[in-house]
Amino acid sequence: MDRDATDDDARHHGGSAYRFAQFLGVVLAPGLLVSVQPFIVALDHDGEGTLGERIVWAAVILLSCAIGPLTIREIWILRGKVTSGRRVHNRAERLAPLTVALGVVAAGVAALQLGHAPPDLRALVWAMLVGLAVTRVVTSAWKISVHAAVTAGTVTILVLVGGPSALLATPLIPLVAWSRVKTSAHTVAQVIGGAIMGAGVAYSVFTTLT
């Protein structure tokens, strides 16, 4: 069952654990993680192109995959088309912003392809596009956790780029999953499904295209 409605009892009686869970939902929000990913990949010394070129392309990804979708969400909120808060708790209200965001991210993919951006950065933006597309399809029937999906995808990219040492970031996945369940934003199944989808898409797309 979807948890489209917030749980008032948890909200008022969750105490410090609930507030910490809310804090995690903010500092590890999908938009922030997506903003970091392109620069992590851009700083990989084994990638093609100069550091300056790679940073520029990372900025293009930031614009199309993070700032663009976040702007769309804010416009939807200002127009009153989203009434369930900035996390868009209502599943049905997620569909239109996700659809428009797909177009913005696709434009970013086109820009990197036509501009002959370094292959690893192109692979990253393709992974973001595929992940968003899968999320949009699943969301039409089930409220999959975007937080869990993006966190798992980000950690996967970190490991692929940074090597085994990046596995130290793995605990972020269950931590974010716990926070989403604790705040009644998602069920356990929804965060597990999001994490599996996010990691699977990130790994399969990034490794195939690099």
Half-sphere exposure of 35 (CA within 13 A, CB side): 11
**Segment 138-150, tens digit of pLDDT:** 999 999 999 999 9
Q: Can you tell me the distance from the alpha carbon of 88 to that of 73, in angstroms, rounded to the nearest whole number?
A: 9
Cβ-based burial of 36 (10 A; exposed 0-12, middle 13-18, buried ≥19): middle
Low-confidence ranges of the chain (pLDDT < 70): 1-14, 45, 81-90
Q: Give Cβ neighbours of residue 89 (< 8 Å, ≥ 6 apart).
A: 3, 4, 5, 6, 185
- pLDDT of amino acid 76: 72
- pLDDT of amino acid 81: 66
Instruction: For the full predicted model, state whether its pTM sits above 0.75.
Output: yes
- CA-based radius of gyration for the chain: 17
